[in-house]
Amino acid sequence: MSRVLNFSPGPAALPDAVLERIRNDIPDWQGSGMSVMEVSHRGKDFMAVAEKAEADFRTLLGINDDYSVLFLQGGATLQFAMTVLNLAQPSDTADYVQTGSWSKKAIAEASRFCNVNVAASSADSSHTHIPDAATWQLTKDAAFLHYTPNETIGGVEFHFIPKTGSVPLVADMSSTILSRPLEVNRFGLIYAGAQKNIGPAGITIVIIRKDLLEPRRDNVPTLLTYKAFAESGSMTNTPPTFAWYVAGLVFEHTLALGGLDAMGKINARKARKLYAAIDDSDFYSNPVAQDARSWMNVPFVLAEPSLDADFLSRADAAGLANLKGHRSVGGMRASMYNAMPESGVDTLIEFMREFERSRA
Ligand SMILES: Cc1ncc(COP(=O)(O)O)c(C=O)c1O
C-alpha cells in the first residue's frame, strides 16, 4: 500500500490497519459470499456489527446506561437543527457560545427554531481565544447551552467543560471526540459527524441523556426525533450500514491501541511538538491564544504569504497532503486526528524546518 501522510481536516485519514481489514472483508464478508454493504441491516450478522460498534464506543468513552447512543445521518449540520427541535420549545431561549465558523452556523440554524442568546463571543479577537467563562451572560432557565469544544477551521479548543448547573450542556464534538478521555456525564447531549476520528462521512453519532429524549414540541418529523432512533436501535429507517461497520472497526482498533488514555497521551505529544516548532521559529506563526490551541487542527501562516504555493507543492511532493488552510482563513492547517501517527507529525516538522532553511 502506498499512502501519503494525510493532514486533511475531514473526511480525514483512516488507520491503515482498518483499511486493510476493509479490503480483505469486502468481497466475502464473514464467509457470506457478500460484502457488508449488500446484507440486510436487520439480519443477525449486521445487527451484531451494530451492537458491537455501540458497545465498543460506550467502552471507549465510559458511557453509562443513563445515556442513549444513536447512529444517525445528516451530518453534524443536521444536528444544528435537530438539537433545537427536540430540546427547546419555540418560545424557549437557548444559550450559545460563539467561538468560530461552526458555532456561528449552529447559532444561525438554531435562530430559526427558538430564541437564541449568544452568551459569549470571541468575535473581537477574530475567534482566536475562548471567552472567560466568568463573563458569559447566561439565561436563567435556558433550554440548553450549546458550544463547540473544537473549532475545526480556526483551530480553537476549549480545555475545560463549561459548568451549567441544571441547564443541559450540548456540544458539537465533531472534530475532538475520541481524541482523549471525556467526562460524558457532564453533558446532556453530544453530537459528532464521523469523518474525523470515527470513520467515513455518512454517519453521525449522538450521545443523549435519556431524560432528554422526549421532544419538547409537536410535529417534529420522525426522522428528526431522537426518541424514535432510541426506540428502534437507530434503525428507524435504513441506516448507513457501511459507515457504521467501518466506525465499528475504528472503535475496535482504538481499543486495541489502549483506548482514549493512550490516544490522549499521543495526541498531546503531537500537538506539543508542532506548536513548539511553530513558536520556536520566526518564519511560522499560529494566532490562537496559548490556552485555547486545538490538539486536532493546527492552523499556521508563513511570514511571507507569497511562499504558500511553493510550501504546499513541495509538501505534496514530499508526501504531506492536504495542508492548505481553510479558504476563510488562508495559510496552512495541519489536522492531526487519531489516525495521524506521531512519526507523521515529526516528518511534517522536519519538512517545515527544511523549507524554512531553504528560504532563509
Ligand atoms: C466542528 C464541526 N461541526 C460541524 C461540521 C459539519 O459537519 P457535516 O459536514 O458532517 O455536517 C464540521 C465539519 O467539518 C465540523 O468540523
6 in any annotated domain: no
Residue 102 falls in the annotated catalytic set: yes
pLDDT reported for residue 2: 83
Residue 196 falls in the annotated catalytic set: yes
Nearest to 320 by CA among 349, 358, 280: 349
Band (pLDDT 50/70/90 cuts) for residue 329 is confident
pLDDT reported for residue 328: 87
Longest dimension (CA), the chain: 64
CATH number where 270 lies: 3.90.1150.10
CATH number where 246 lies: 3.40.640.10
My answer on whether 248 and 285 are in the same domain is no
β-strand 297-302 against 332-335: which pairing, if any? antiparallel
97 in any annotated domain: yes
Q: Is the dihedral of CA 199, 203, 206, 210 positive or negative?
A: negative
174 C-beta closer than 6 A to ligand 1: yes
pLDDT for residue 198 is more than 90: yes
Residue 136 falls in the annotated catalytic set: no
The count of structural domains within the chain is: 2
What separation in Å is there between the alpha carbon of 192 and the centre of ligand 1? Answer: 8
Q: Which of 82, 174, 296 to mutate to test the pocket of ligand 1 (most atoms within 8 A of CB)?
A: 174
Domain boundary among 256, 281, 301: 256
188 C-beta closer than 6 A to ligand 1: no
Supply the residue whose CA is at minimum distance from atom 7 of ligand 1: 76
My answer on whether 85 and 217 are in the same domain is yes
54 C-beta closer than 6 A to ligand 1: no
120 in any annotated domain: yes
Mean pLDDT of 149-162: 98
Calpha distance 79→74 (Å, rounded)? 8
- The neighbour count for residue 115, using CB atoms within 10 Å, is 16
101 C-beta closer than 6 A to ligand 1: no
Supply the residue whose CA is at minimum distance from atom 15 of ligand 1: 174
7 in any annotated domain: no
Percentage above 90 pLDDT, the chain? 98
Domain boundary among 256, 284, 303: 256
Mean pLDDT of 108-132: 98
Calpha distance 143→168 (Å, rounded)? 7
Are 104 and 133 in contact by the 8 Å Cβ rule? The answer is: no
pLDDT reported for residue 359: 85
Burial 215-230 (b: 16+ CB within 10 A, else e): bbbeebeeebbbbbbb
Mean pLDDT of 261-285: 98
What separation in Å is there between the alpha carbon of 281 and the centre of ligand 1? Answer: 31
My answer on whether 142 and 272 are in the same domain is no
pTM of the model: 0.98
Residue of 56, 92, 104, 196 marked active site: 196
* Residue with cell string 440554524: 109
Domain range enclosing 303:
259-359
pLDDT reported for residue 1: 63
148 C-beta closer than 6 A to ligand 1: yes
pLDDT for residue 201 is more than 80: yes
Band (pLDDT 50/70/90 cuts) for residue 343 is very high
What separation in Å is there between the alpha carbon of 1 and the centre of ligand 1? Answer: 29
My answer on whether 71 and 116 are in the same domain is yes
My answer on whether 132 and 174 are in the same domain is yes
Are 159 and 292 in contact by the 8 Å Cβ rule? The answer is: yes
Instruction: Quote the mean pLDDT of the chain.
Output: 97
What separation in Å is there between the alpha carbon of 360 and the centre of ligand 1? Answer: 38
117 C-beta closer than 6 A to ligand 1: no
12 in any annotated domain: no
8 in any annotated domain: no
pLDDT for residue 176 is more than 90: yes
My answer on whether 238 and 324 are in the same domain is no
β-strand 189-193 against 169-172: which pairing, if any? parallel
pLDDT for residue 97 is more than 90: yes
Residue of 29, 56, 92, 102 marked active site: 102
